[in-house]
Amino acid sequence: MKVLVTGATGLVGQAIQRVVAENPTDGEEWVFVSTKDADLTDGEATEALFQKHKPTHVIHLAAMVGGLFRNMKYPVDLLRNNLHINDNVLYNSYKTGVQKCVSCLSTCIFPDKTKYPINETMLHLGPPHPSNFGFSYAKRMIDIENRAFNKQYGCKFTSVIPTNVFGPWDNFNLQDGHVMPGLINKIFSAKRDGTPFTVWGTGAARRQFIYSYDLAKLIVWAMREYDEIDPIILSVPEEAEISIKELAEMVIEAMEFKGEVLYDTTKSDGQLKKTADNAKLKGYLPDFKFTDMKTAVKETVQWFVNNQDVARK
Amino acid sequence: MRIHVAGKKAASIRGSGPRADSRRIPFQDPGKRTRADEEAAKNTQMAACTDKAEQLKKRVLVTGGTGLVGQAIRRVVEENPSDEEEWIFVSSKHADLTDFNATQVLFKKHQPTHVIHLAAMVGGLFRNLKYNLDFWRSNIKINDNVLQCAFLSGVRRCVSCLSTCIFPNETTYPIDETMVHNGPPHDSNFGYAYAKRMIDVQNRAYNAQHGCRFTSVIPTNVFGPCDNFNLEDGHVMPGLVHKVYIAKRDNEPFVVWGTGSPRRQFIYSYDLARLIMWVLKDYHETEPIILSVGEEDEISIKESAELVMEAMDFKGEVIYDTTKSDGQFKKTASNAKLLTYMPDFKFTPIRQALKETCDWFTENFHTARK
């Protein structure tokens, strides 16, 4: 088995590298690539990459991503670059005879108007939130293309849908990054500068968080054993959903922050809930143990503190 | 006015009047295009839309120019000549639009100011079922290449063509323009349907990021001369015309598949062409617009069959093969949006439209696509 992992230097890719290093398997070779190795928006470059490595399996994490502002400003680039990346990877997977390709979607691509909890069958039931429609449609089309490759050629291409991922190697930028790394970065600065730590919003919004290390283990499992073409949500259960306030308190504890905490309620809370149903995952892996949240946050915080020189921020 | 099929008299395009080249964005390899270039293109394009350049010579590139709708547009253009306009009709013979470089060469050669984008990989039910992937990939590439080249060359307006078959399978009726993305399309042609839907998404993205004025139209069932009359691959109206022709020629019964009760709105290609020309000129929204006769003009397949028999003067036996599927019972589309813009638009009466179509088919039987 030769596994090609695209986007391997990112948040999830690094976690997969860790999982693979901890669990070496005879007869398996893992190739981790990033933009340095090939521009996946380019068909010829992608073809050359696949010709060079001739993978039997692919974990496709590469994407053009961004925070709210980038998404709103560059919908064409987010749509086109991701459509091209995804088509190049899937098409070359087909041409190379890849036995299994697992791509990565996101809960942010679900319909904006929906009931909760959301599940895998609801992905295409309405338009996504307008703020990131370029990215969302491009990601949704991975699922369409998986189905089309399966129908026409019998390919086994599938996808996973994580909820909010966090961990070492994340993007901690306050503008572009997500909520967890944002809180960590803010507390780091507040602690260092002796200033208050300000949480945007009331803290009431609720989210399910999945540690990148747990997600990596599940993605590797999906690559080995999940045989459906339809996507699978990879998330902690609904009852593990926590509020931004509870999250902030966990990060404060992990970073031993003793200063003032403010909630800037003039800032938007964003979506109040995005609850995803992990029943399908539970059906397959009833005994999977997620890393305890406090432990996961502590590891992430420690990584950020110790890697200021390489952390993206 | 010059009407031009690309590849013939190419040289005559040059020097055919004042050109807006001073404002034209020089052609660049998109891979080398920087953020600064993008900003410059956006500013230039937006300026070009609003200033006197709008009144300078229009050069309209029609992709899919030899198809059912393309030929109808050609007819409308010939009936309404203008010195201020140059029309270029291209087909797959002139460029493979699934290839970016070929599309770029085409745009560079013709330097269009406007585009009517009709080119697509299309097919009937069976072809769609078998090749969903090819329908998805080819159409995504064609559309992406045309829209990106339109953007890069500063095209002022681009009107693309969607279809009512891409709407959600489970829906309320009548369908309207706001409902395109409200659920999955019918499974049988999901590759084609999603690729077409992405035109609308891409139009909105280009408008949001670059201020481009790209839009789309959604016709209901189109029919007319130059259609695909193939019984496997074609649509219902040309299918009926072809069958009646054969039944008449061979003195056999004319067999209609199904009960004849499903209902459809038909739009004559000539009317659609006139409306597309209007959209190119005067419809300023990015959101699509349904181009159709009203709900009250919806007719059953049985009524359509009877109209075709009348047009072809067929007096033989008619059989309804009720073992065959009826397909979707109704696909009623609302043309309320069109009516608010064009309350006085007169559609060609269906009897006349069918007569012209049947006469064309009879006269061109040997060369018609079938």
Q: Scan residues 185-214 of A and list those with Cβ closer than 8 Å to B.
A: none
| CB < 8 Å to A145, chain B | 133, 136-137
pLDDT for position A72: 86
Segment A140-156 shows an average pLDDT of 97
pLDDT class for A178, splitting at 50, 70, 90?
confident
- Pick the residue from chain B with its C-alpha nearest to A88: B137
Please tell me the predicted confidence (pLDDT) of residue B19: 34
Mutate to test the interface with B, among A40, A44, A76 (most CBs of B within 10 A): A76
CA-based nearest residue in chain A for residue B131: A152
Q: How far apart are CA A78 and CA A307, in angstroms?
A: 29
Q: Is the pLDDT of residue A297 over 70?
A: yes
In the prediction, which pLDDT does B36 show? 55
Q: Is the pLDDT of residue B28 over 50?
A: no
* pLDDT for A227: 97
In contact, A211 and A166? CB cutoff 8 Å: yes
Is B181 close to A127, i.e. CB distance below 8 A? yes
pLDDT at site B41: 56
Q: What is the pLDDT of residue B234?
A: 84
Q: Which residues of B1-28 are buried (b: 16+ CB within 10 A; e: fewer)?
A: bbebbbeeeeeebeeeeebbeebbbeee
Question: What is residue B34's predicted lDDT score, i.e. its pLDDT?
Answer: 56
B352 CA: distance to closest CA in chain A (Å):
41
> Mean pLDDT, to the nearest integer, of B219-237?
92
Asked whether residue B225 carries a pLDDT value surpassing 90, the answer given is yes
Q: Do B194 and A144 touch (CB under 8 A)?
A: yes
Give the minimum alpha-carbon distance from A50 to chain B in angstroms, rounded to a whole number.
19
The answer to whether the Cβ–Cβ distance between A124 and B183 falls below 8 Å is: yes
Q: What is the pLDDT of residue A177?
A: 83
CB contact under 8 A, A144 and B209: no
User: Looking at this protein, which amino acid is placed at residue B32?
Assistant: K
- Window A:66-85, CB contacts with B under 8 Å: 72-77, 79-80, 83
Question: How confident is the model at residue B35, as a pLDDT?
Answer: 55
- Assign B43 a pLDDT band (cuts: 50, 70, 90): low
* Residue A14 binned pLDDT confidence (cut-offs 50, 70, 90): very high
pLDDT in the model for residue B233: 82
Q: What is the mean pLDDT of residues A176-196?
A: 93
Q: According to the model, what pLDDT value does residue B3 have?
A: 58
Side-chain half-sphere exposure of B135, counting CA atoms within 13 A: 27
The pLDDT, as a whole number, for residue B235 is 87
**CB-CB neighbors (< 8 A) of B144 in chain A:** 80, 83
Subunit contact A152:B202, Cβ cutoff 8 A: no
Supply the DSSP string of B237-305, one letter for each residue: HHHHHHHHHHHHHHT-PEEEES-S--EE-EEEHHHHHHHHHHHHHH---SS-EEE---GGG-EEHHHHH
Q: Token match 């085409």: residue? A: B106
Cβ of A75 within 8 Å of Cβ of B204? The answer is yes
Quote the pLDDT of residue B32: 43
C-beta of residue A246 within 8 angstroms of C-beta of residue A181? no
pLDDT value of position B14? 31
pTM: 0.89
| Residues on chain B touching A83 (C-beta within 8 angstroms) | 140, 144, 198
Q: B245 and chain A: CB distance < 8 Å anywhere?
A: no
Whether residue B16 has pLDDT greater than 90: no
Q: How confident is the model at residue B30 (pLDDT cuts 50, 70, 90)?
A: very low
SS3 B366: coil
How does pLDDT run across B282-334, given as a tens digit for each residue? Answer: 999 999 999 999 999 999 999 999 999 999 999 999 999 999 888 778 889 99
CA distances from B189 to A148, A262, B69, B131 (A): 10, 53, 21, 9
Confidence of residue B265 (pLDDT cuts 50, 70, 90): very high
How far apart are the two ends of chain A, measured CA to CA in Å?
36
How high does pLDDT run on average in chain B? 87
B6: pLDDT strictly greater than 60:
no
| DSSP of B189-227 | GHHHHHHHHHHHHHHHHHHHHH--EEEEEEESEEE-TT-
- Residue B38, CA distances (Å) to B48, B146, B211 in order: 15, 17, 11
Beta bridge partners of A5: A32, A59
Residue A259 confidence (pLDDT) above 60: yes
Average pLDDT over residues A174-197: 92
Sort out which chain A residues have CB atoms less than 8 A from B132's CB and list them.
147-148, 151-152
Tokens coding B131: 């090749």
Higher pLDDT, A175 or B280: B280
CA geometry: angle at A63 spanning A61 and A66, to 5°?
125
Taking contacts as CB-CB distances below 8 angstroms, the residues of chain A near B31 are 42
pLDDT, tens digit, 9 for 90 and up, residues A89-106 = 999 999 999 999 999 999
Find the range with the poorest average confidence among A287-291, B80-84, B347-351. Answer: B80-84
Per residue in A18-58, pLDDT (tens digit) is 999 999 999 999 999 999 999 999 999 999 999 999 999 99
List the beta bridge partners of residue B221. Answer: B266
The residues of B assigned a catalytic role are 192
Work out the number of other CB atoms within 10 angstroms of the CB of residue B368: 20
Residue A75 to residue B205, Cβ atoms within 8 A: yes
Which residue from A243, A269, A67, A261 is spatially nearest to A172, judged by alpha carbons? A67
Q: Can you give the pLDDT at residue B12?
A: 28
Candidate from B133, B182, B183 with C-beta closest to A149: B133
Tokens found for residue B328: 């979707």
**Pairs of CB atoms within 8 A across A/B:** 70
Contact (CB<8Å) A144/B201: no
Residues 6+ apart with CB under 8 A from A263: A198, A199, A201, A202, A203, A245
Mutate which of B98, B186, B194 to test chain A, going by most A C-beta atoms within 10 A?
B194
Q: How far is A228 from chain B (nearest CA, A)?
A: 18
A200 versus B180: which is more confidently predicted? B180
CA distance A197 to B251: 88
Average pLDDT of chain A to the nearest whole number: 95
**Quick one: pLDDT band at residue B25, thresholds 50, 70, 90?**
very low
pLDDT tens digits along B101-149: 999 999 999 999 999 999 999 887 778 888 999 999 999 999 999 999 9
Residues B240-252 pLDDT 10s:
999 999 999 999 9
